[in-house]
Structure 1
Amino acid sequence: MVGPLDRKLLRDLWRMKGQALAIAVVMALGVTMQVMMSGLVSSLDETRRGYYERYRLADVIAPVTRAPEQVLHALAALEGVGAVEGRIGGAALIDLPDRDVPLQAQALSLPYDDAPALNAIRIEAGRLFERGRPDEVVVLDSFAAAHGLRPGDTLAATTNGARRSFRIVGLARSPEFLYSAAPGEMVPDDSRFGVLWLSPAAMAAAFDMDGAFSEALIGLGRGANEQLVLDAVDRVLEPYGGIGAYGREDMFSNRFVSEEIDGLRESARAVPPMFMAVAAFLLNIVIARMVQAEREEIGLLKAFGYRSAEIGVHYLKLVLAIALAGALLGCLAGVAAGRGMVQLYLAFFKFPFLVFRLEPAAFATGIGVSVLAATAGGAIVLRRIFALQPAEAMRPPAPADYASAGRWRGLTRWLDQPTRMVLRRFSRTPFRMAGAVLGITCGMALSVGMLTIHAGFSQAVALSFDVIDRSEASVTFTSAVSDKALHELARIPGVERVEGRRDVAVILRNGRQSHRGSITGLPAAPELNRALTPALAPIPMRSEGLVLSGALAAKLKLEVGQTLTVEVREGARPVLTLPVAAVADSVLGAPAYMAMDGLNRALGEPGRVSAAALRLDEARAPEIYAWLKGLPTVAGVSLKHEARDAFVTVMNQGAGWTRFIMSGMAFVITFGIIYNAARIALAERARDLASLRVIGFSRAEAAYVLLGELGLVTLLALPLGAVLGAGFAQVLAAAYSSELYTIPVVFLPTTFGSAALVVIAGAAISGLLVKRDVDRADLVAALKTRD
């Protein structure tokens, strides 16, 4: 049976339906992000695990120069090893007719029956190659899609110095190559790096590997210790030129996917709570002011005999109805948004399947925060009002002490009466106005934070390809060559400047801490490819030791002056002990730098380079690329504009793509905050505005009293929101940064100006909506006391 208080509850909800809806929408947006992002992280994690398991991705890969197949039995006998398979791998260059430069690729052998014990592939189109057809090849489908290749097309590729023509018979996906990048590059790009699967016989003939293998794929047994297995595998393969086994965490594709998922996880931890905190704060203010406005009704209810507990439950139902409606709406919207984003992530992560998985904890968090915020807002005010006697509660609150109002008389005597009313409102209810200012401050802060992050992403691209990399192209050699190659490149007509670089694959160790990566050797004063701090200061190269990025130093737990072990994974594979000469924050990744001369000297290989940056005459660039195609020592040529496009694509997809969604939600929440502030002010001053109309004020003058208050509150919130937004931006930048790139926090005047325009536009629209209600107000009804 519906009691009187429940009927009053329904009437109150209908009377304040606009304001209740605005509050519910603000809460819903915070919950939507929580449910959507938590569900996406859970879904991606589960999909990755299932994909790896179904196609048997190896736990360990052990490259070797050349080992006989009998060694596989020795590897299989090692403790902790569950499965072993050998394969042949090698570099390849793909020559496409529509490309000026050759494209790098990796060629791999695959059993004829497409049922390897480890690292199986998924045929997406066509079929696997057949026995006795060494010219048939299966191509990575993402590379084929980037160039419009299909089964039946021909492909020219150079393997081990020999150019051959292949016929594409199939397109495939592999969990090993969810992402692929050319050697020496951090950013994956499907259009510039491909994978070719050939028959064992074709690969053995191409790379002189008959009866041998160049990579051992290893699956770990249950409960195996990965590090012990890695050490044992290295001991077995060392006589055959093993260059160091590594686990999944160091496989490029898995590492990149993990970075993206971890980035999304960090965003899910940092961003939705901020939005929910703002929404909860707004709800707290709204509920507190709404209950305060019901003071007289509470007194009347107590006079009719209702106990404080009954009245408290009534108002608790009111706030819970709004909060739960917002939370449930957010949960439903979060599920819908998550399912919609699955298709985007399916394409981005290249999973063959992806099902959105609901995360129960996200629902509990969203609903819990909404309920707690709603109840907290009303509890404090209700407690104070319930302490009043009915007769006292039915009276309007005692006016504040206005003895100090005379101080402002000299400042306000030149103002008209409506403007003085606006200013008196601030002096008489300072805490109430402060709450309104803080609410809009939070909205401004959200807008500043998101716009700053957008500027940071743009700045990261500009720094990477306009400030750090000032070349037009980069040439990678098949191995470290004499620096005389730089002079040969410089003599090519159209090459205006050449700058060498030495990249050395290493494992950096400090006790139990390790990092698989590379050391980049740069000239003492590089011009084309520079190492810079986030403040754009050059990072001085040291000949006597390494310069580590701050992120890498923290990972290895190293400080300046300490030494670390450097296991070189190429050439003679020496083990070096080098000091940490400096630690400097970098813009890109987690690099380790050293002066090129010092690095070559430490390796015992003076005068060596592994890559070169080129500045070109654009008019002669095609001739230069054609000449580079014919050089046997060139492993690949990278064009900066293509690398830039790939970098932008990576940053605008995956975890980085969520910033666009969050920006839209931030602007909606900002508008919701401002609109709620305007609706609350209208609810509190409806009788006052009606009184002004009765005593002769025009509609415009009455509306000015209300809108002037909103305008002044908004103007006061702008600078405060800019300061709070700067703090939000720091949190967001840390959440979006990864080992691949660092998002700088860029405070631009245009950012604050744009955020201010968002807030001002929200205030203007809210003001127009509220003014319409003021103009339509029934003066007689507004002057009556509500039942």
Structure 2
Amino acid sequence: MSPLDTKLLRDLARIKGQVIAIVLVIAVGVLLQVMMSGLVASLSETRRAYYERNRLADVFAPVARAPEAELARLAALPGVARAEGRVVGAALIDLVEEAVPIQARALSLPDFGEATFNTIYLTAGRLPEPGGRDETLLLTAFARARGIAPGDRLPVTMNGTRRSLHVVGLAEAPDLLYIGVPGEMMPDPARVAALWMRRTELAAAYDMQGAFNEALIALSRDATEAAVLDRIDALLDPWGGTGAYGRSDLVSDRFVSEEIGGLATMARAVPPLFLAVAAFLLYIVVGRIVQSEREEIGQLKAFGYTNTEVASHYFKLVLAVAIAGAALGCLLGVLAGRAMIPIYLTFYNFPFLVFRPDPAAFAIGAIASVAAASAGGIIVLRRVFAFTPAEAMRPPAPPDFSRTITFTGRAARLLDQPTRMVLRGIARQPWRTLALAAGIAGGMALASGMTTIYGAFDRMMDLSFTVIDRSDGTVVFTHPLGEKAALELARIPGVFSVEPVRDVPAILRNGRETHRGSVTGLVDTPEIARAIDARMAPIALPDKGIVLSQALADILNIAPGEMLTVEVREGRRPVLEVPVTKVATSLIGAPAYMRLDALNRELAEPGRISGARLRVDPARAEEIWRLLKDRPTVAGVSVAKDARASLQKLMDQGAGSARYIMGAVAFVITFGIIYNAARIAFTERARDLASLRVIGFSKGEAAFILLGELAVIVLAALPVGSLAGYGLTFAIAAGFSSELYQIPAAFDPFSHGFAASFVLGAALVSGWMVKRDLDRTDLIAVLKSRD
């Protein structure tokens, strides 16, 4: 080992505290890079393999009822490679322990052999026998949540007929990766299900013998999806086609894609922040070492070491820190990624999901760490080349403090000597002070911004269930009924109020921009479920026109006053031209609102409703729900209490715990900055502090002078960091909001206080560690040392 390498090991041991702090900062950045990139790769690759092996269809074309002969015509369309029909229906599962019927999707399996598309993945039991009456497969996630196993009986209502189905197996399917509770969009495995039966059995239940109500289609390699969708719609229009759509509009795939996109965004945006902080810290640390070892550098050069050899010695220190941080980050990233997998399996119905680190993430993390560290070190190492042996062995010129602040008059009387020394110390090095404050403010901004975003889910839940939709439950009918149905609901004992609604599936178009969704008809002056503006005030629905949510207006690139084309996909399926009158605030989904009577008038179906929202007596709620599930015209009931509990569970298991992760992130960044700054200040001023102790200053006064500067900088950085975090909140909210959900950005005092507590905690720990070393200082040894 060369003498310089021996010196390198001694230097690392001497500044081990600072090295550990910088290594942790680098490690957190690489951890996030490896974990998030690995999750993106794992989710993307698992989804791709699952879709490919189980042959997920490229296009889904729902219809009211089409004869089997139409499948041949579909397959003959230009751009279509293959086509298959299946039967899909809504069902209700009536469990004895549940007052509310559980909504389910019933899907057909071929009588013989495997399906051409969307083949199931059997996780337990066996397939239903061909011709096996009342045999069914059940969605694995629902079965596990309810403790149902192959061999159990399941009471199900299908098309108004009660049946007792024999569960023979558990399964999953590629088009059901994500399955939310109808009308809620949030996953709850215990409250939503899917079941599969042989085609003949299911066709008989839904009066689909010799027909299908959903076509599954594979596109040829050279097909243009938009053109093929138009051809499919034209062909199926006479049979009640509601509009074909591709994978990108499949609800299941959209949710997974949004999650992958969010992770990819975080992987690109967050790690560079940590690496920039690490580069800044290394710049300070290496700069201090070079400055304090001027004489040694001069002696090395005088004994024949070249500029390159001396600079390489200090550059090796930088590389050692960077490589150690990258290695630790890679290891922790893999462990963190594996710990996240069970959470994703809770929300997504993957048959398997294994964390596979992205090899590129290791390379990017290591290279970026070395590059960032090198950038911080190289700037300092220029001084090494500039030193000549004679110049380096001379003590540096003392700093010029002639322009420092002075205290006279009342300020001199009010401020004691240690306080004045603290303030002068801050004023003497303004650039270092600003850089240190900026680093601390950056850690505060990241923590407060991200914590506010996660706290916004609390506000989203409160607004959704107390301002926008104040119902206790929502009833959905099997088909549009007359307004008499709402009156019948109002006569149920315990029902306080009823508001009828009508949801009409539609394709909304504005030029080239389109959206597949629905239009919701509300009463003239709704009190239970309302459209609200940005000030949370209810919007009066116009007699003519439509109110769009902000998310939908952004998707369609449309503003109030412009005309919107609404292609209704129900009943006579008219094409409407309606003006956009206002834009509403929405938090979940992308709804569009019209007055109920105006919507029915446009459809030429006066007095029709598809459901109702209820306010009920809490003491009689369970009795009401049990009564409703016995009515044949009720397709489902969504209880607000259960919906809120599902959303709360999602927050507690996912977003809620992330608040503390971001708090820890802020702690690591702030600790790394403050501890290094405190250690460097201690090293630079050890002789001055020892002199103060000798002339009569106490340990506490000496510590106050050293750490008081850092305390002032930290306290000054907190409001700056809070302000920056406030701005960062809006940027993050805009980046992560989508059609599926919108994040309400606002100032959250709790989140900013929560972030500030972590920053102050890091400062206190750093200060305590430095003060401990200060109290142990050997005054005689320090005073004998040369500058």
Counterpart residue number, 2:703: 703
Q: After superposing the two structures, state which structure 1 stretch, 651-660 or 708-717, moved more.
A: 651-660
Post-superposition Cα deviations, 1:76-120, rounded to whole Å, max 9, x if no partner, equal: 222222222221121111111011121211112112445111111
Counterpart residue number, 2:246: 247
Q: Where does structure 2 lack aligned partners over 5 or more consecutive residues?
A: none
CA deviation after TM superposition for structure 1 residue 182, in Å: 4.3
SS, match of residue 406 in structure 2 = helix
Q: Distance in 1 between matches of 2:450 and 2:125?
A: 45
The answer to whether the 8 Å contact 1:562/1:580 transfers is: yes
The answer to whether the 8 Å contact 1:506/1:568 transfers is: yes
Counterpart residue number, 2:508: 508
CA deviation after TM superposition for structure 1 residue 25, in Å: 0.7
Q: After superposing the two structures, state which structure 1 stretch, 73-82 or 734-743, moved more.
A: 734-743
Counterpart residue number, 1:418: 418
CA deviation after TM superposition for structure 1 residue 437, in Å: 2.1
Q: Distance in 1 between matches of 2:25 and 2:703?
A: 26
Q: Distance in 1 between matches of 2:283 and 2:533?
A: 43
Q: Distance in 2 between matches of 1:261 and 1:96?
A: 35
Post-superposition Cα deviations, 1:591-639, rounded to whole Å, max 9, x if no partner, equal: 2222222222222222222221111111121222222122222111110
Q: After superposing the two structures, state which structure 1 stretch, 283-292 or 44-53, moved more.
A: 283-292
Structural mapping, 1:77-226, within 5 Å:
77-113=76-112, 115-226=114-225
Say yes or no: does 1:757 pair with 2:757: yes
Counterpart residue number, 1:676: 676
The answer to whether the 8 Å contact 1:402/1:428 transfers is: no
SS, match of residue 41 in structure 1 = helix
Say yes or no: does 1:28 pair with 2:32: no
Structural mapping, 1:340-355, within 5 Å:
340-355=339-354
Residues 9 and 495 of structure 1, relative CA distance in 2, 3 Å threshold = same
Q: Distance in 1 between matches of 2:86 and 2:403?
A: 90
Counterpart residue number, 2:536: 536
Q: Distance in 1 between matches of 2:388 and 2:7?
A: 22
CA deviation after TM superposition for structure 1 residue 29, in Å: 0.4
SS, match of residue 496 in structure 1 = strand
Q: What TM-score results when the alignment is normalised by the length of structure 2?
A: 0.94
Counterpart residue number, 1:443: 443
Structural mapping, 1:248-327, within 5 Å:
248-302=247-301, 304=303, 306-327=305-326
Q: Distance in 2 between matches of 1:132 and 1:372?
A: 66
CA deviation after TM superposition for structure 1 residue 786, in Å: 7.5
The answer to whether the 8 Å contact 2:454/2:658 transfers is: no
Q: Distance in 2 between matches of 1:302 and 1:405?
A: 40
CA deviation after TM superposition for structure 1 residue 656, in Å: 8.0
Identity %: 59
Counterpart residue number, 1:479: 479
Counterpart residue number, 2:552: 552
Q: Distance in 2 between matches of 1:470 and 1:366?
A: 48
Q: After superposing the two structures, state which structure 1 stretch, 80-89 or 285-294, moved more.
A: 285-294
**AA in 1 matched with 2:635:** A
Q: Distance in 1 between matches of 2:733 and 2:768?
A: 36
Post-superposition Cα deviations, 1:382-414, rounded to whole Å, max 9, x if no partner, equal: 435754555554323432233554345641344
Q: Distance in 1 between matches of 2:497 and 2:651?
A: 30
SS, match of residue 783 in structure 1 = helix
Counterpart residue number, 1:399: 399
SS, match of residue 521 in structure 2 = strand
Q: Distance in 2 between matches of 1:286 and 1:409?
A: 39
The answer to whether the 8 Å contact 1:450/1:666 transfers is: no
Q: After superposing the two structures, state which structure 1 stretch, 59-68 or 176-185, moved more.
A: 176-185
Residues 504 and 56 of structure 1, relative CA distance in 2, 3 Å threshold = same
Q: What TM-score results when the alignment is normalised by the length of structure 1?
A: 0.94
Residues 43 and 662 of structure 1, relative CA distance in 2, 3 Å threshold = farther
CA deviation after TM superposition for structure 1 residue 550, in Å: 2.9
Q: Distance in 1 between matches of 2:700 and 2:127?
A: 78
Number of equivalent positions: 786
CA deviation after TM superposition for structure 1 residue 649, in Å: 3.5
Counterpart residue number, 2:773: 773
Q: Distance in 1 between matches of 2:302 and 2:522?
A: 84
Counterpart residue number, 2:362: 363
The answer to whether the 8 Å contact 2:451/2:659 transfers is: no
**AA in 2 matched with 1:551:** A
CA deviation after TM superposition for structure 1 residue 37, in Å: 0.4
CA deviation after TM superposition for structure 1 residue 508, in Å: 1.3
Q: Distance in 2 between matches of 1:272 and 1:459?
A: 28
Post-superposition Cα deviations, 1:666-719, rounded to whole Å, max 9, x if no partner, equal: 333332322222222222222222233333433333222222222222212211
Residues 579 and 278 of structure 1, relative CA distance in 2, 3 Å threshold = farther
Q: Distance in 2 between matches of 1:663 and 1:582?
A: 40
Let me know the Cα RMSD of the aligned residues. Answer: 2.5
CA deviation after TM superposition for structure 1 residue 342, in Å: 2.6
Residues 743 and 764 of structure 1, relative CA distance in 2, 3 Å threshold = same
The answer to whether the 8 Å contact 2:589/2:739 transfers is: yes
Q: After superposing the two structures, state which structure 1 stretch, 147-156 or 432-441, moved more.
A: 432-441
**AA in 1 matched with 2:114:** A
CA deviation after TM superposition for structure 1 residue 139, in Å: 1.0
Residues 243 and 428 of structure 1, relative CA distance in 2, 3 Å threshold = closer
SS, match of residue 406 in structure 1 = coil
CA deviation after TM superposition for structure 1 residue 305, in Å: 5.2
Residues 314 and 770 of structure 1, relative CA distance in 2, 3 Å threshold = same
The answer to whether the 8 Å contact 1:114/1:121 transfers is: no
The answer to whether the 8 Å contact 1:271/1:732 transfers is: no
Counterpart residue number, 2:729: 729
Q: Distance in 2 between matches of 1:624 and 1:336?
A: 48
Q: Where does structure 1 lack aligned partners over 5 or more consecutive residues?
A: none
